[in-house]
Amino acid sequence: MSTISCLVLDVDGVLTDSRIYISDSGEETKAFNSKDGHGLKLLLRMGIEVVILTGRSSRVVEHRAKDLGITHVIQGSKDKKAALIDLAERIGIETKHMAYMGDDVVDLPPMALCGLTFAPADAVDMVRERADVVTVNRGGHGAVREAVEILLKRLGLFEQAMERYVG
């Protein structure tokens, strides 16, 4: 595995359980897992970039990203592969040095470019079959936290990331 310096995440089905709640007034809400969020903060603290790349657009995602300190948010992407290539150029990280977590077929093209890929346990078959790692947890239920811990361990950073908690 080449050194990974960035984790790219889909939203619906990865950071959430795929359900989208829309009120009578048209307001969209999503539920996020707090353990996933803390894991992403751990990654950022260890100098690993975190990117959100989603085909939908939602103010909820903007708020969640801001809350976690994620500065790279790409929404409304109809071509995730092109968006990933553009992102790589903008932030100066080759796609082979990126990890990607997706759950549906729209995630396959960008996943094919990345050095390490993850799929939640409930991802569609084609994605699970092509992912380097399939988590035990489902999307929105700790899959991202699980991926973060696996990534930190593979990079030899897990113990350092845990020092502030266990001494």
| Average pLDDT of the chain, as a whole number | 96
- At residue 142, the pLDDT reads 97
Write the single-letter amino acid at 118.
Answer: F
- At residue 92, the pLDDT reads 96
Question: Could you say which DSSP state residue 32 is in?
Answer: -
Q: Is the pLDDT of residue 1 over 60?
A: no
Q: Which residues contact 5 (CB under 8 A, 6 or more apart)?
A: 47, 48, 49, 93, 97, 98
Domains of the chain plus CATH, in order, are 6-157 (3.40.50.1000)
- At residue 79, the pLDDT reads 97
Q: Is the pLDDT of residue 2 over 80?
A: no
Dist CA 52 CA 95 (whole Å) = 15
- At residue 110, the pLDDT reads 98
Task: List % helix, strand, coil for the chain (3-state, nearest 5).
Answer: 45, 15, 40
Q: Is the pLDDT of residue 28 over 90?
A: no
Dist CA 116 CA 110 (whole Å) = 11
- At residue 167, the pLDDT reads 72
Confidence bin at 128 (pLDDT 50/70/90): very high
Q: What is the pLDDT of residues 70-112, one digit of tens each?
A: 999 999 999 999 999 999 999 999 999 999 999 999 999 999 9
Confidence bin at 36 (pLDDT 50/70/90): very high
Q: Is the pLDDT of residue 66 over 90?
A: yes
Closest Cα to residue 10, out of 126, 125, 117?
117
- At residue 77, the pLDDT reads 96
Dist CA 27 CA 126 (whole Å) = 32
